[in-house]
């Protein structure tokens, strides 16, 4: 996917596509766009090779392409690639992998 996009994250960075937020509440009420918050859930579409240690070794990432994740609200950079919005963040900003 990253090759198709023309973007490859470096080191411990990951490229994430936001997952769509729910359109209605559990009670069946529709949520207007103005009341929606941006979701802190996404799918990893590309990863770097891993974190580089002080002695130059590369520690592989725990996350992988295709993982669905929860991430910190303020921990990412929004970028636009081929007209589509993505988030670039570090692996340490991932709070959990959704199983």
CATH (domain of 65):
2.30.33.40
Whether pLDDT at 2 is above 80:
no
* Residue 28, domain member (yes or no): no
Containing structural domain, residue 9: 2-19+35-98
Q: Which of 67, 72, 65, 73 is nearest to 92 (CA)?
A: 72
Q: Which of 89, 79, 90, 47 is nearest to 65 (CA)?
A: 47
* Residue 69, domain member (yes or no): yes
- What pLDDT shows up at residue 68? 96
* Residue 84, domain member (yes or no): yes
Number of other CB atoms surrounding residue 94 within 10 Å: 21
Give how many domains the chain has, as a whole number. Answer: 1
Tell me the pLDDT band of 81, cut-offs 50, 70 and 90: confident
* Residue 24, domain member (yes or no): no
pLDDT per residue over 10-60, tens digit each? 999 999 998 876 555 566 666 555 555 566 899 999 999 999 999 999 999
* Residue 10, domain member (yes or no): yes
- What pLDDT shows up at residue 94? 93
The DSSP bridge pattern shows strands 58-59 and 51-52 to be antiparallel
* Residue 29, domain member (yes or no): no
* Residue 30, domain member (yes or no): no
* Residue 75, domain member (yes or no): yes
């Amino acid at each position: 996917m990253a090759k198709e996009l023309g973007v490859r994250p470096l080191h411990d960075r990951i490229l994430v596509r936001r997952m769509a937020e729910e359109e209605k509440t559990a009670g069946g009420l529709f949520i207007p766009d103005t009341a929606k918050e941006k979701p802190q859930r996404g799918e990893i579409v590309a990863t770097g090779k891993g974190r580089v240690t002080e002695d130059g070794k590369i520690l592989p990432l725990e996350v992988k392409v295709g993982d669905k994740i929860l991430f910190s609200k303020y921990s990412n950079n929004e970028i636009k690639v081929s007209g589509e919005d993505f988030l670039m963040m570090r692996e340490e900003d991932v709070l959990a992998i959704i199983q």
